[in-house]
Amino acid sequence: VRAVLVRPPRPGVTVEEVPPAPLVPGSVRVTVLECGVCGTDHDIAAGKYGRAPDGVPYLILGHENLGRIAEVSAGVPLFQVGDVVVATVRRGCGACPFCRAGRPDFCTTGRYSERGITGAPGYFAEEYVERTEYLVRVPPSLAGVAVLLEPLTVIEKAIVQGEAVRARAAVASGGGGASPTALVAGTGAVGMLASLALRARGYTVTAIDRHDGSTRAAKLLRGVGAVHADVAAGLSALGEARYDLVLEAAGSPSLAFALIDRIALNGVLVLTGIPDAGGTPAPVPEGDLLRGLVLGNRAIVGSVNASRADFETGLRDLAAFESRWPGVASSLITSRRPLDDAPSVVGHRDPGSIKTVLRVADGGPGPPAR
Ligand SMILES: [Zn+2]
Ligand SMILES: [Zn+2]
């Protein structure tokens, strides 16, 4: 089986042959169709992050996946050969109450594994084997965009977290009939999916990055009725505006601090970008910052990973995007490249791309890899 390998903490990416995983009862063998490449993969390839499974000298990279079932073991009544599926990423520790309740995204021991990230093989490979409890079946009509499902689930969870906080003031915010407002920081794949998901929920959306309005992302945002703002010169580009839900998907600590000042009364800032560890102490106006949180009923929430329910919600959202804005979700996939190109694709960030996808099997969705 050809697979994309890393050997953390050593930097570097190779494509090599590895032995196929055995098909154990309750599992299926999945032919990988496409896999998305994201910042986490770049960080693992750079040696910043990632851990190989115990007793294995390498980690198969990749967590954003789409595949087709090729072989079914005994005792798998709900799936059959040919089903298009997406696999979830995190596997619980088995010990904490959250993992036992099926919510490893809230694991409190830290002893979870994540396929393609930490302690479990990923999906940048010709095939993988997985238990069906970790698979979500994709309707054939969504196969062309379902490689975006896994990154979308990060946003689905983040929106659930933010709306749970906003629900504290549901009575107050229900008056007047005005639609809630959202500010999305970042126009990479996660930020773009956040803007689409919030527009689909009726939010008035402003999305910010450090580019002028000529980019593909800015055009797509205008196409879905969102406002794009270039904040290269600072958040003053937003005027005095504050937002009910501020969603950070950029991973910049200084930007995240500046966003606190943009949370509306009773509003919430949800952080999803993962900044590099460390950093230099920054002067923070402690009094102003904490007064603003208390006197405004404001909240700051971090959110990571996603639940199985978020995958189901994500599928419904992808269907909603396709019917409301045909072609926009697939436009987020800016290039499809063959698996053998992984060392260059994963080793170097392409600032012009929104989502680069490795196209693994022939006969998958989308145009041929170039
Ligand atoms: Zn990712
Ligand atoms: Zn746990």
Rounded average pLDDT over 17-32: 96
Q: Is the pTM of this model over 0.85?
A: yes
pLDDT digits (tens, 9 = 90+) for 36-58: 999 999 999 999 999 999 999 99
Q: Are 242 and 297 in contact (CB under 8 A)?
A: no
Ligand 2 mean position to 157 CA, how many Å?
17
Asked whether residue 283 carries a pLDDT value surpassing 90, the answer given is: no
Distance 131 CA to ligand 2 centre (A): 19
* Exposed / middle / buried, residue 284 (Cβ in 10 Å: 0-12, 13-18, 19+): exposed
Q: How many CA atoms lie within 13 A of 102 on its CB side?
A: 6
Rounded Cα distance, 263 and 246, in Å: 6
Q: Is the pLDDT of residue 238 over 60?
A: yes
The bound ligand whose nearest atom lies closest to the alpha carbon of 124 is 1
Q: Supply the Cα-derived Rg of the chain in whole angstroms.
A: 21
Residues above pLDDT 90, as percent of the chain: 87
Round to whole Å and give the CA distance between 40 and 8. Answer: 13
Kindly give the distance from the C-alpha atom of residue 367 to the centroid of ligand 1, in angstroms, as a whole number: 22
Note the pLDDT of residue 350: 83
pLDDT range class, residue 364, cuts 50, 70, 90: low
User: What is the CA(251)–ligand 1 centre distance, in A?
Assistant: 13
Say how many Å lie between the CA of residue 192 and the centre of ligand 1.
Answer: 14
Residue keyed to tokens 């971090």: 302
What's CA 16's distance to the chain center, in Å? 27
Ligand 2 centroid to residue 96 C-alpha, Å: 4
pLDDT in tens, 248-273: 999 899 999 999 999 999 999 999 99
Mean pLDDT of 231-236: 96
User: Nearest bound ligand to CA 112?
Assistant: 2
Average pLDDT for 7-16: 96
How far is it, in rounded angstroms, from Cα 306 to Cα 90?
8
The whole-angstrom separation of Cα 349 and Cα 135 is 29
C-alpha 37 to ligand 1 mean position (Å): 7
pLDDT tens across 72-98, in order? 999 888 999 999 999 999 999 999 999
Kind and range of the H or E element at 330? helix 328-331
> 102 C-alpha to center of ligand 2: Å?
9
Rounded to the nearest whole angstrom, what is the distance from the C-alpha of residue 278 to the centroid of ligand 2? Answer: 26
- Does the pLDDT at position 177 exceed 90? no
Q: What is the mean pLDDT of residues 14-29?
A: 96
Q: Which ligand is nearest to the CA of 123?
A: 1
Of 245, 81, 94, the residue nearest 163 (C-alpha): 245
The gap from C-alpha 22 to its chain's centroid, in whole angstroms, comes to 29
- List the shell of residues around ion ligand 1, using CB closer than 5 Å: 38, 40, 64
